[in-house]
Amino acid sequence: MKNYYSYNINGNCVLIVEDNGCIVEIALAEKKVNGNKTETAAIKTAASQIEEYFAGKRKSFDFPINPQGGEFQKQVWAALRNIPYGQLRTYKQIAEETGNPKASRAVGMANNKNPLPIVIPCHRVVGSNGKLVGYAYGLAMKEYLISIEKNAVLLQK
C-alpha cells in the first residue's frame, strides 16, 4: 500500500508518495492519491532533501526511488539524471543520448510523464532555441527551479 504526505516547502505544495520504502512520485501540486496519509521515514527524508534543494543547498538526492514507466520513459529519465546541476540540455540532446536522435517529441512526452520532478530534473530540458517550453507544472515553476540552480551556482563562484 502506498503512503503519501503533503508539505508546504518555500510556499510550494509538495506531495510525496512512497511505496515499499522507495519514493515513487512527487507532485508539485495537491492531487488525489490512493493510499495512506502517513509521514513515513522515507517520505520525511525526501521532504528534507527537497527543502534543502529549494533553499539552494542541495544539488543531488540520495533517497531510494522507483519511478514507474515504460522502457523508453526510463531511458529518458536516466538521461535526465545525467544533466549536471545548474545546466540545461535540449530535447534533441536527450533524444540523441537515448540513441533516438529523431525522438525529440517522444522525449517531451516522457518528460511530461516524469513521476519525480526535481529528482529526475526534467526542468533542465529546453527547446532547441534555448527557450523554456513545456513543463507539467507550468513554465513559471520551470523557470523558478532553473533560477534556484543558477543562483546556487553563482553563489559558489
Report, as residue numbers or ranges, the catalytic residues. 122
> Taking phi first (over 0 means left), then psi (-120 to 50 degrees means alpha), and beta for anything else, what does residue 139 get?
alpha
Residues in Cβ contact with 120 at an 8 Å cutoff, skipping those fewer than 6 apart: 65, 67, 77, 80, 81, 114
Choose among 124, 112, 111: nearest CA to 153. 124
C-alpha neighbours within 13 Å on the C-beta side of residue 69: 21
The C-alpha atoms of residue 35 and residue 49 are separated, in whole angstroms, by: 23
